[in-house]
Amino acid sequence: MRIKTFKILLVIILFINGLNVYSQKYYATGEENMVRGNRLISAESANGKQLYQTGKISPGLRIQPDGEMKEPEWANALTVTPFINVKNNADRTSVRVLYDSDNIYLFWSVEQPDGITVLMKERDGLITSDDYVQVDLKPWLPDDIIHGRNYSYSIAVNPEGIIWDSYFDPYLGGFYFSSWNSSTDVKTVCQAKSWQAEMIIPFAGLDVFSDPGWKWNLEFRHCSFNDGLAEVSSSTAGVTVQQDVMVRESGLVSYYWPRTDFMQEVKPDLKIQGEVSARISGLKSVPVINKREDTRLWSNAQIMPITHTDKMGQVITSNTANAAIGLSGNLLCFNLKADGAAIQKREGTTDKLGEGMAAQMAGVNGVFIDQTLFRNEGFWIILQPRGQNADNIHNDHYLIVLNNRGEIKGTHYDKYGEPYREWTPVANIDIYNTPTGWGAELMLDMRSLDIPVDYSNTWGINIFRNRLLPDNNYELQAWKYTGNDFFNPAKFGILTGVSIKNISVFKSYIERKIKETGLLLANYPEEEKNIINELRKDLASVKTGTLDELREAELKLINIDNKAGILESSVYYRNAPHPAIRGGYPSMDVTFIGNKGWAVGPMGTILITEDFGNNWQKVLLNSDADLYRVKFVNEQEGWIAGGRIRIAETNESMRHDKRGGYGYIFHTADGGKTWECQYGERGRHLFALHFV
């Protein structure tokens, strides 16, 4: 378990979904458009649907956001009011709407009779305890486009001008990505019991692949937060606006939908996704840094041909690449060669891995891909040291990127798929020219890897070459073809013959984990000092002198990590806001012993009965975990299994399966009146438990 900052981002939508009980009308300047449904396009929709809509666009407006509404254009702007809450009461909120070819302009006037509440000071923080205004933006598509994807964007601002903006993706039931940046410009002006907000929202920030003529439905909301309660009101009418700019992020379009006017829908050949393996070779010595290939060292090494495009699996016959892998002491050595390119000089600084997502939606690997990976000619090495007793999915793995400038970067993915971009490979590089291209010998120190003490001699491996093409395009070539699913551990190839002789490889790993765990414990609040002191004693007892001590140390660290998971569940619950639960949750499991029964469900729901189910009483559980199974061995002692998904996190953390989250087991010894967390582990989501 790594250092965590207990920063809770509660999605605004928890408060506002379902509040709009009025039939929406979407008004465009000069006409009224009744939209029966906002069904957005998906991969199942007809290919090549042309979404261009002609319409009159206002000339460029000269709006300068100052919160004052000084420009004369505002006098003729469409005004949306009133705003109605769930009690059918209106508040005195209005929003004026203008748009031109490039931007949407909003001016909010808000009255707060009970005063203004502001707590959020940082962008994309917890805005649900503030007063705020919000606009939701959804692409308008005709009703004849079926199989829609209901993606949308939300932008909210509090009275101090702090923005919360989020992209909603409906994949797997929906994820909200507050890492999306709308590039909205906003200025606010506050009085004692009222405030104004002037917003400029660029169309260019609202999608990754859109045309002039695209229309957007806008819906508006206002939240007042008083006495610990949030009251959300919604406008009874929406507004339709139209862009006149073209937005192109071609590396992302394939996620949204196939359109024949943009790209050919060609299905990859899945038959060639078979098992591929390579054997590591023992090297007599370490390659020398001499700007040329040490040919004799690699004479007996197995050549790994990199001859397929990873997108479609097409065979490459020219400008190909290959690799070989060898082992010398603590160094894992790679010989990488590519045709059709040349070494380049280093110029300035290069982007870190992950920075390519900042312009789209930072860190959502698996839905979008970090575009910095494709900016340079170079190789990717994906390496997964495996333990003897672990499955092939839940092992740490590493992405190592080497370009033709001799620059190296890396990302460490833990066994739950979470990335740590601060990791840097400890390696030496010898980059050299070849008659047909360039090459590099990379010597990676295995002491910089987390390698299990009881490691398997078979690891996961894949090697890619990113070849640059004209017009800022690229071709990703693969040794083990994955169909563009390159970060999925299930798609890795196999590296055999791994043999580690030096205990220092494991000692470095364990000592690094001890240090990281110590830093983790220092990050918990003071009120947990009793538990923290106990865990620190456990940590201090860890020994690393012999191989047996290292095995024991590894088990102790896992145990400490699990105890820290229990602690984190408690800290999380205390720090997370708890909106009023409206009820209506399904019961996930129920069990009886005689006249006594227990039922469990979502959001920490536990019910008990002592009269055969005629009457039920709710029991307090300091957790909002979803509870799936309850088992009692007698009338007093029982257990519950469940978990919670990590909301407000990236899909990169959850891209291979639904392991993103925390698994919990709760225990009672008094018939279910009180419960304690007995087990908590990051990366698991428990759905059942059974006793024999």
Tell me the pLDDT tens digit for each residue of 172-182: 556 667 767 88
- Confidence (pLDDT) at 58: 63
Asked whether residue 4 is domain-assigned, the answer is no
Q: Which of 461, 496, 531 is the last residue of a domain?
A: 496
Looking at the structure, do residues 278 and 247 belong to the same domain, yes or no?
Answer: no
CA 479/CA 502 separation, integer angstroms: 30
397 and 518 co-located in one domain: no
The DSSP secondary-structure symbol of 489 reads G
Residue 207 confidence (pLDDT): 67
Residues 6 or more apart from 357 whose CB is under 8 A from it?
Answer: 179, 363, 364, 365, 368, 370, 371
Residue 18 in domain: no
Instruction: Look at residues 222, 256, 290 and tell me which one is the last residue of a structural domain.
Output: 256
Collapsing DSSP to helix, strand or coil, 682 comes out as strand
pLDDT-based confidence at residue 428 (cuts at 50, 70, 90)? very high
CATH number at residue 68: 2.60.40.1190
**CB neighbour list of residue 552: distance below 8 Å, 6 or more residues apart:** 543
- Residue 490 sits in the same domain as residue 510: no
Distance CA 682, CA 663 (A): 6
Q: Look at residue 547 and tell me whether its pLDDT is greater than 90.
A: yes
Distance of CA 46 to the CA centre of its chain: 29
Q: Considering only 119-133, 153-167, 240-254, 390-404, which range has the smallest mean pLDDT? A: 240-254
pTM of the model: 0.56
In 3D space, the residue among 457, 536, 444 whose CA is nearest the CA of residue 495 turns out to be 457
Kindly report which listed range (409-418, 458-467, 532-541, 674-683) carries the lowest average pLDDT score: 674-683
Contact 45, 204 (CB under 8 A): no
Answer yes or no: is 423 within a domain: yes
Most confident region among 339-348, 607-616, 640-649, 658-667 by mean pLDDT = 607-616
Contact present, 628 and 687 (Cβ < 8 Å): yes
Q: Is the pLDDT of residue 466 over 60?
A: yes
Q: How far, in Å, CA of 283 to CA of 280, rounded?
A: 9
Whether 262 is covered by a domain: the verdict is: no
Would you say residue 651 has pLDDT above 50? no
106-165 tens-digit pLDDT: 999 999 988 998 988 888 777 888 899 999 998 876 655 555 556 788 999 999 999 988
What span, in angstroms and rounded, lies between the C-alpha atoms of 378 and 258?
A: 28
- 691: number of Cβ within 10 Å: 7
Q: Is 508 helix (H, G, I), strand (E, B) or coil?
A: helix
Q: What is the pLDDT of residue 209?
A: 63
How confident is the model over 413-442, as a mean pLDDT? 91
Asked whether residue 203 is domain-assigned, the answer is yes
Measured between alpha carbons, how far is 645 from 658 in angstroms, rounded to an integer? Answer: 8
Residues 167 and 185 in one domain: yes
What is the Cα–Cα distance from 407 to 534, expressed in whole angstroms?
A: 44
Nearest to 251 by CA among 407, 472, 542: 472
The predicted structure's pLDDT at residue 645:
62
In this prediction, residue 167 carries a pLDDT of 80
Nearest-10 crossing angle of helices 529-540, 547-575: 170
Phi, psi of 653, deg, nearest 5: -75, -15
Are 513 and 477 within one domain?
A: no
Residues 476 and 376 placed together within one structural domain of the fold = yes
Answer yes or no: is 580 within a domain.
no
Does position 292 have pLDDT exceeding 90, yes or no?
yes
Of the two residues 235 and 205, the one the predictor is more confident about is 235
- Between 265-274, 437-446, 562-571, the lowest mean confidence (pLDDT) is in 265-274
Please list the helix, strand and coil fractions of the chain in percent, rounded to the nearest 5, in that order. Answer: 15, 35, 50
In this structure, the answer to whether residues 491 and 612 fall within a common structural domain is no
Residue 172: inside a domain: yes
Both tokens of 304, joined, read 């790994």
Q: What percent of the chain has pLDDT over 70?
A: 76
Closest CA to 439 of 300, 295, 330: 295
pLDDT at position 629 is 92
Tell me how far apart the alpha carbons of residues 337 and 320 are, in angstroms, rounded to a whole number: 9
pLDDT at 357: 40
Q: Which two tokens stand for residue 67?
A: 């919160």
Both 151 and 248 in one domain: the answer is yes
The answer to whether residues 474 and 413 belong to one domain is: yes
pLDDT exceeds cutoff 60 at 30:
no
With a cut of 70, say whether residue 527 has pLDDT above it: yes
42 with 189, same domain?
yes
Residues in the chain: 692
Distance CA 630, CA 606 (A): 9
* Number of helical (H) and strand (E) elements in the chain, helices listed first: 5, 41
Give yes or no: residues 314 and 409 share one domain: yes
Confidence at 52, pLDDT banded by 50, 70, 90? very low
Least reliable range by pLDDT among 35-44, 152-161, 390-399:
35-44
Kindly indicate the confidence band of residue 624, based on its pLDDT and cuts at 50, 70 and 90.
confident
Number of Cβ within 10 Å of residue 106's Cβ equals 27
Pair of tokens at residue 28: 């465009």
Looking at the fold, whether 530 and 618 belong to one and the same domain comes out as: no
Domain that holds residue 606: 589-682
Peptide bond preceding 82 in cis form (omega within 30 of 0): yes
* Between residues 579 and 61, the one the model is more confident about: 61
**Distance between CA atoms of residues 219 and 143, nearest Å:** 19
Per-residue pLDDT at 354: 52
C-alpha distances in Å from residue 48, one per residue of 44, 262, 264, 429, 461: 12, 8, 10, 47, 38
Could you give the number of structural domains in the chain? 4
State percent of the chain over pLDDT 90: 44
Degrees, nearest 5: CA angle 363-341-380? 30
Q: Flag whether 10 is in a domain.
A: no
How far is Cα 292 from Cα 265, in angstroms, rounded to an integer? 43
Q: What is the mean pLDDT of residues 165-191?
A: 79
CA dist 147 → 42, 43, 46, 367 (Å): 6, 8, 9, 19
Residue that terminates a domain, selected from 221, 256, 291: 256
pLDDT at res. 687: 82
Cα 122 from Cα 654, distance rounded (Å): 26
Q: Are 268 and 294 in contact (CB under 8 A)?
A: no
Q: Is the pLDDT of residue 252 over 90?
A: no
